[in-house]
Amino acid sequence: MTNRSASAALVTALLLISLLIAPRGSAQTPAAKPAAKEPVLGTYHWPNGTAGVDAFATWLGRDAVWGLDFVGWESWDNVGWPVWWLEAWSKWVHEKPSRRFILSIPLLTGPVDGSGPTQGSKDVRKPVSLEQGAAGAYNQHFRDLATNLVQHRLGDTILRPGWEFNGNWYPWGAKGKTAAFAEYWRQIVKTMRAVPGAEGLKFCWNPTLGDQQFPADEAWPGDEFVDYVGVDVYDETWTADTYPWPADATAAEIERRQKKAWEEWIVQSPRGLAFWTKFAKDHKKPLAIPEWGLVWSDHQHGGLDNPYFIERMHAFLTDPANGVAFHCYFDINETDHGHQLSPGVEGTGKEEGTRFPKSARRFRELFGKTP
């Protein structure tokens, strides 16, 4: 054997040995992809509802879920100094490292007609508008809010300023005022981020599902001012041949209508889930579903006890292709409509329980976990 042949044989032998002893994840054995991270589950259960959030987690066998709340829009004091909310939520958040607070904050105060705050120490009955907000007139309230969040050790809170702005049921409805809405949003984000210690605040730009009063994407404030694209999703529609169904409808007919509502309204309508999933990806933002739920209501356009909706939402939320970061089930009943799945908090007067027993069982099967 020549020296060249011997060298070649040695190289071949070494290569064979390296193949046999190569560690997992080397070029010879592709590393397994890490499991996709499940989006975080949260819930709303009445104002300052820490006990309700914990009861919801216990019902699901989870160690913790995130908590959602809303600042009232009766006064500017509520916006800048929501101490009643922050004291309770700060204590709750810091009891467990896995908890986080999501806070919905009004852009304008008072009735939907823009006549101004009805309570508080500032500008009572003084008319409000998105245009004034765009000019910076309300920045101090949001500077105060950021300062208070930091002081209460809630500097990583997720904020939902002016949620569901594409509707007409809040004073900050932005129909015909999209440029003012977008500029006001930018004013708020710049103002709050400038407060020392508030750099960790996150901002969720959050219309509700469908076109509603106008296409919400017309009010986009710009990528640098948004951390999450949020959309609220309820099993509620006025789409023809869906809800309500006839009193004598068979189970098969009800299921057909529920499936049609999901496909034609919730997913494929002009500003349905398919649209917002693509929109979030195009803007390189995670998607969020800050409110979702089943619906019974006086208007009868809810899907009632609908396990199919629960199943489809679970599939959508947990599909990594949709990029969902977090979602919150809206777990309450009110006098004229309701969404509650859990038993509620015993002894509080708010433990009404559910009108959706089949869906509640399916929700626990899909979203429940062993502690």
Question: Is the per-residue pLDDT at 15 higher than 80?
Answer: no
Domain tally, the chain: 1
Does a structural domain hold residue 8? Answer: no
Predicted pLDDT at 345: 87
pLDDT of amino acid 3: 38
User: Residue 23's pLDDT is what?
Assistant: 41
The answer to whether residue 1 is domain-embedded is no
Domain assignment present for 285: yes
* C-alpha gyration radius of the chain: 25
Domain-embedded: residue 331? yes
Average pLDDT over residues 80-89: 95
> How many CB atoms lie under 10 A from the CB of residue 122?
15
The pLDDT assigned to 369 comes to 82
> What is the tens place of the pLDDT at every residue in 22-60?
443 433 444 444 556 789 999 999 999 999 999 999 999
Q: Is residue 21 part of a domain?
A: no
Query: Is 344 a member of any domain?
Result: yes
Task: Report percent pLDDT > 90 for the chain.
Answer: 84
Q: Which of 228, 236, 229, 188 is nearest to 212 (CA)?
A: 236
Compute the residue count for the chain. Answer: 371
pLDDT at position 347 is 65
Whether residue 352 is contained in a domain is answered as yes
Question: Mean pLDDT throughout 128-155?
Answer: 98
Residue 346's pLDDT is 75
Q: What's the rounded Cα separation, in Å, for the pair 173 and 350?
A: 30
Give me the domain span that covers residue 46.
39-367
pLDDT digits (tens, 9 = 90+) for 307-358: 999 999 999 999 999 999 999 999 999 989 999 999 988 766 555 789 999 9
pLDDT at 348: 61
Q: In terms of C-beta distances under 8 Å and separation of at least 24 residues, what long-range contacts does 262-266 make, across chains too?
A: 262/235, 262/308, 262/309, 262/312, 264/239, 265/209, 265/210, 265/237, 265/239, 266/209, 266/233, 266/235, 266/237, 266/312
Q: For position 351, what pLDDT does the model report? A: 56
> What's residue 192's pLDDT?
98
Q: Is 67 a member of any domain? A: yes
Where residue 311 sits, what CATH number does that domain have? 3.20.20.80
Q: Determine the Cα–Cα distance for residues 219 and 205; give it in Å rounded to an integer.
A: 10
Residue 13: which pLDDT band, with cuts at 50, 70 and 90?
very low
User: What is the rounded average pLDDT for all residues in the chain?
Assistant: 90
pLDDT at 19 over 50: no
3 state SS for the chain: CCHHHHHHHHHHHHHHHHHHHCCCCCCCCCCCCCCCCCCEEEEECCCCCHHHHHHHHHHHCCCCCEEEEECCCCCHHHHHCCHHHHHHHHHHHCCCCCCCEEEEECCCCCCCCCCCCCCCCCCCCCCCCHHHHHCCCCHHHHHHHHHHHHHCCCCCCEEEECCCCCCCCCCCCCCCCHHHHHHHHHHHHHHHHCCCCCCCCEEEECCECCCCCCCHHHHCCCHHHCCEEECEEECECCCCCCCCCCCCCCHHHHHHHHHHHHHHHHHCCCCCHHHHHHHHHHCCCCEEEEEEECCEECCCCECCCCHHHHHHHHHHHHCHHHCEEEEEEECCECCCEECCCCCCCCCCCCCCCCCCHHHHHHHHHHHCCCC
Check pLDDT > 80 for residue 5.
Answer: no
Nearest to 175 by CA among 163, 166, 185: 166
pLDDT at residue 231 is higher than 70: yes
Average pLDDT of the segment spanning 114-136: 96
